[in-house]
Amino acid sequence: MEGLSRRQGIFDKLGTILRQDLGSLEEIKLRQESLQKRNDRDIHQGEVAQLEAELQILQRRIAEVSDSSLLASEEKEHVN
């Protein structure tokens, strides 16, 4: 019996130390949820940045095509 009570005392001390270091189960879950949300937001932020970069490239290409179309139409007017 003495060995069992000693083990129980050790487990109680370990539990106390872990609760002090990590907090309660609810606090751990809340921190984990917060970290997960931040991670999800970071992932989406990367996707948004990539899409914005692609959009800028497409806008530049559209502008280049528009400029070349204007030049071609001006050249046709000068020829006529």
Average pLDDT by consecutive 10-residue portion of the chain (80 residues)?
81 85 80 86 85 95 82 65
Alpha-carbon distance of 78 to 55, in angstroms, equals 35
For the whole model, what pTM was predicted? 0.43
pLDDT at 44: 83
Alpha-carbon distance of 30 to 8, in angstroms, equals 29
